[in-house]
């Protein structure tokens, strides 16, 4: 809802948030938004995905209760703020929309085109994209000045950073509004310019890609590469383990965005990464990637 007589650049009052996509990122975004007091409408094309999201949110909040991070009453109140729907049009009544669909530009563009007839004049549109041009996505809508990147880190309830990415037309009020939402979530906003993969993935994905090249060229095994970065660089997860957690299809998509957008051969995706994606070995979500997760303990696949 827009409040009256707001100062320019001070931001508008956000009371409801629409989240498009009930996958790993979408359910995490719905989780933190509801705990922060926002009314949430979570949309997906799959009822199974919506059911899975509500179940996961309930489970993750119960874990927070068990750790003393929130109370049982706070959990129950927050889950009561989340409404799910198969109809994209139901998102239209919200003040802020966060698109968290598959990392494919054509899919994101189609979602925004379908949503446009249903949203309010003041509604802010954002994308949780980890790499795609915000300016280009915004240009396909009727409100490029009210469009920006709102990139959460995975897992959303745990990770403290949110990248806020202005498109070339994003106005100051939109940025201030989104910054205010991040503050209310208790997270930290990092302002990034609209260049391929922004900040985190501009640095992280080439490291992962180089780890895959190191495996591809036989310099080290899956286990030795991950062990070296965990013990030698004090990383909490090895790069190949992290790639499996993110999803190898997502890693490949971001590397392709970097390679296409910056035209530099240093961003060329490793052929082995491409091969794993072609095989459907996408990491944890398919039970096989650089590790096989089908037994009690992950086993390296190379």
163 classed as catalytic? yes
Report residue 279 CA to chain centroid gap: 24
**Which of 128, 130, 131, 209 is flagged as catalytic?**
130
**Which of 99, 163, 173, 241 is flagged as catalytic?**
163
201 classed as catalytic? yes
| Residue owning tokens 């669909």 | 101
Cα atoms in the Cβ-side hemisphere of radius 13 Å centred on 201: 30
With beta carbons less than 8 A apart as the criterion, state whether 156 and 25 touch. yes
Which residues fall within 8 angstroms of residue 266, CB to CB, at 6 or more apart?
A: 206
**Which of 39, 131, 133, 151 is flagged as catalytic?**
151
Q: Quick one: which of 23, 185, 200 has its CA closest to 96?
A: 185
- Go through the chain and tell me how many residues it has: 302
**Which of 127, 128, 201, 209 is flagged as catalytic?**
201
Sign of CA dihedral 25, 30, 35, 38: positive
Distance CA 70, CA 218 (A): 47
Q: What is the DSSP string of 218-270?
A: TSS-HHHHHHHHHHHS--SS-HHHHHHHH-HHHHHHHHHHHHHHH--GGGPPP
* Phi, psi at 14, each rounded to 5°: -95, 125
Pairing between strand 147-152 and 161-166?
A: antiparallel
With beta carbons less than 8 A apart as the criterion, state whether 37 and 82 touch. no
60 classed as catalytic? no
With beta carbons less than 8 A apart as the criterion, state whether 57 and 16 touch. no
**Residues with a known catalytic role:** 130, 151, 163, 201
């Amino acid at each position: 809802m827009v409040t009256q007589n707001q100062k320019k650049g001070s931001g508008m009052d956000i009371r409801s948030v629409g989240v498009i996509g009930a996958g790993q990122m979408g359910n995490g975004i719905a989780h933190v938004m509801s705990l922060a007091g926002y009314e949430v409408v979570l949309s997906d094309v799959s009822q199974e995905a919506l059911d899975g999201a509500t179940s996961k949110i309930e489970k993750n909040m119960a874990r927070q209760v068990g750790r003393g991070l929130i109370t049982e009453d706070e959990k129950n109140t927050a889950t009561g703020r989340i409404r799910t729907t198969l109809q994209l049009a139901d998102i239209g009544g919200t003040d802020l929309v966060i698109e968290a669909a598959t990392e494919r530009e054509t899919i994101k563009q189609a979602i925004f085109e379908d949503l446009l007839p249903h949203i309010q004049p003041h509604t802010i549109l954002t994308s949780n994209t980890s790499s795609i041009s915000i300016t280009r996505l915004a240009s396909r809508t009727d409100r490029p000045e009210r469009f920006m990147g709102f990139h959460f880190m995975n897992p959303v309830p745990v990770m403290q950073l949110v990248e806020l990415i202005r498109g070339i037309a994003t106005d100051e009020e939109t940025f201030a509004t989104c910054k205010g939402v991040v503050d209310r979530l208790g997270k930290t906003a990092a302002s990034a310019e609209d260049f391929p993969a922004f900040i985190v993935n501009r640095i992280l994905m080439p490291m992962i890609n180089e780890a895959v090249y190191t495996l591809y060229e036989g310099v080290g095994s899956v286990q030795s590469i991950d062990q070296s970065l965990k013990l030698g660089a004090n990383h909490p997860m090895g790069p190949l383990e992290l790639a499996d957690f993110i999803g190898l299809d997502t890693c490949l998509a971001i590397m392709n965005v970097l390679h296409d957008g910056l035209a530099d051969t240093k961003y060329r995706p490793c052929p082995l990464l491409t091969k794993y994606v072609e095989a459907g070995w996408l990491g944890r979500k398919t039970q096989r990637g650089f590790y096989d997760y089908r037994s009690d303990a992950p086993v390296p696949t190379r």
